[in-house]
Structure 1
Amino acid sequence: MPRGWYDGAGPIRVEGGLKARTRRGSIGSTWWSRRFIDLLERVCDKGRLSRGRAYARQGQVLSIDLTPGEVRAAVQGSRRRPYEVVVRIEAYDEARWSTIEESIAAQAVHRARLLAGEMPPEIEELFAALGVDLFPRDLDMDCSCPDWGFPCKHLSAVLYLLAESFDDDPFLVLAWRGRTREQLLGSLADEPAADPLTVDDVPFADRLADFYAPGATAHRPEGRRPVAEPDLLLRVFPPPGDLAGPLTPAYRGLAEA
């Protein structure tokens, strides 16, 4: 039939299909799955999204296969043969991922949380700073059904189930971009992490001339001394009685001297 034809008949019910866990309301509970759903619900037809949620909850999606840059799925509609669904995004190459991993490894907190199996919210900003997107801005989607709507309810059902799978495993978001969980964590584990407590060592021979200069150390250049109020000692250790009054000018005078 020509593209644009729409069959309002109900779908053929199937057994053993993939079903959304949520029976009502929004789908997606974590920040990363909600980010994906927000994109979907901002650009797609609300009516077909509603029917797509119903398909997802009824178990009409037979299979979903995610590979770098592509998701393929089969959805049982009103016809005997299931419809074929394809959703594509850009998968980053090895050079791009090498840069991303170096940037993650340089952030000790991000690196630790990813190694612990968590997705830090700041990682989206890290991607943006490198000029790439973690979540797709646009989706290249296609369905073999004759419905002219975009996306159709079959595509919508797959996208909702995809978001729910992101809840279970946030690393699927990265796998879709071209990096599996094993690849990323293996790279981060091998990458030397930056130690925030590391201080550059200055050889003693290079500092011999000024090593004994007053106020000069390897980490505090000569002439830069701590600044403190001259009467700080009196305030920290108050003298007995009313001695603080006459002693304050004396301390200030010593500081000026």
Structure 2
Amino acid sequence: MSISPITNPQGAAIAPASLQSDRQWWATQWIDLMNSYRFKKRLERGWIYARKGHVKSILFRDRKVIAKVQGTDPKPYHVSLWLTPLSDEDWQYVVNTLYQRAIFSAKLLAGEMPHNIEEVFSANGLRLFPFNLNDVHSRCNCPDKANPCKHVSAVYYLLGDRFGEDPFVLFQLRGRTREQILTALRQQRQQALGTADSSAALVVPEFHLDPQRYWAYGASLDPSLVVITSPTSGEGLLDVLGPIPLALDGEAGDYSDQQQAHLQGFLRQVYQTVSQQAMIQAMTQGQGKD
């Protein structure tokens, strides 16, 4: 893997502005981090190594970056870089905050790393991106005692391009892979929906309904809770319906007031008898056979 960096340690452009603008945000952040390093000469030698293709390979293995850099020795030097990983508790705080901020979790689930993801970490007193190069730990088996040496610096520059291609490797260097973060977010969503196990089958209780007993009530009525009485005066069915509009046999017109009163009196007596029988049946319901 050999990719030219965006700028040299002095900040001079090595590509047209249009190409620089196409660089992804994370790569630019990483290059800016290196350009803030005070030992410019060390980075300058590393930039030359990276430009000439001396970095033979870069691998992300667990929480470390493992690289081989060809120096003056026939055998490549072995370089390793790593960040201080976050604890399990810290990651739980981060995942909770990611889930609470829907825009972040939506972008992550869509495979996109939000540029302002650092807000989630800073809200919990943490950092995803290194504050400066002193936060990046490195080791090289070359005889140079300086750290970073030119071999480490060469890997620094190419890491910017790697972060631009896949910024999720920053999660990996902090202790969580992309898959682990997405799985944790999905679990949060399932718990919020009350479906912690999304693969569990929905259990539907069985109901045995008898249409003939749809209106039946098998338990005894508690007299302290239910009081059954006849309707009071003025609240009966005939009182609510008012005059009955029936015509005389063979004649047009309505019944006289006397005839209306006679008919209503008869029906009122019928309804009263029916009400009494209904009350008796209701009060004895459940005490014997229906």
- Could you say which TM-score interval applies, normalised by the shorter chain? 0.5 to 0.7
Does the Cα contact within 8 Å between 1:87 and 1:139 map onto a contact in 2?
yes
1:182 to 179, 183, 187: 179
Matched position secondary structure for 1:112: helix
Q: 1:148 Cα deviation (Å)? A: 4.0
Alignment of 1:42-61 (within 5 A): 42-61=36-55
Q: Does 1:150 align with 2:147?
A: yes
1:94-121 Cα deviation digits (max 9, x unpaired): 2221221111011011111111121112
1:131 to 120, 125, 129: 125
Does the Cα contact within 8 Å between 1:44 and 1:150 map onto a contact in 2?
no
Does the Cα contact within 8 Å between 1:68 and 1:177 map onto a contact in 2?
no
TM-score (norm 2): 0.56
Separation in 2 of the partners of 1:178 and 1:98? 12
Partner of 2:138: 141
Alignment of 1:97-112 (within 5 A): 97-112=91-106
1:172 to 150, 169, 172: 169
Q: 1:89 Cα deviation (Å)? A: 1.3
Partner of 1:116: 110
Does the Cα contact within 8 Å between 1:174 and 1:180 map onto a contact in 2?
yes
Does the Cα contact within 8 Å between 1:74 and 1:84 map onto a contact in 2?
yes
Matched position secondary structure for 1:191: helix
Separation in 2 of the partners of 1:67 and 1:100? 23
Percent identity between matched residues is: 41
Partner of 1:231: none
Matched position secondary structure for 2:189: coil
Matched position secondary structure for 2:143: coil
CA RMSD of aligned residues (A): 2.5
Partner of 1:159: 156
Aligned AA (1:141)? S
Separation in 2 of the partners of 1:38 and 1:22? 11
Partner of 2:228: none
Count, aligned residues: 178
**Which runs of 5 or more structure 1 residues have no equivalent in the other structure?**
1-17, 196-257
Q: 1:79 Cα deviation (Å)? A: 0.8
Separation in 2 of the partners of 1:44 and 1:68? 30
- Structure 1, 24-33 or 161-170: larger mean CA deviation: 24-33
Q: 1:150 Cα deviation (Å)? A: 3.1
Moved over 4 A (4+): 21-24
Does the Cα contact within 8 Å between 2:5 and 2:161 map onto a contact in 1?
no
Q: Based on CA coordinates, which of the two structures has the bigger radius of gyration?
A: 2
Residues 87, 23 of structure 1: alpha-carbon distance in 2 compared, 3 angstrom cutoff: closer
Matched position secondary structure for 1:158: helix
Alignment of 1:66-105 (within 5 A): 66-105=60-99
1:209-248 Cα deviation digits (max 9, x unpaired): xxxxxxxxxxxxxxxxxxxxxxxxxxxxxxxxxxxxxxxx
Does the Cα contact within 8 Å between 1:68 and 1:179 map onto a contact in 2?
no
Q: 1:22 Cα deviation (Å)? A: 5.3
TM-score (norm 1): 0.62
Aligned AA (1:89)? L
Partner of 2:3: 20
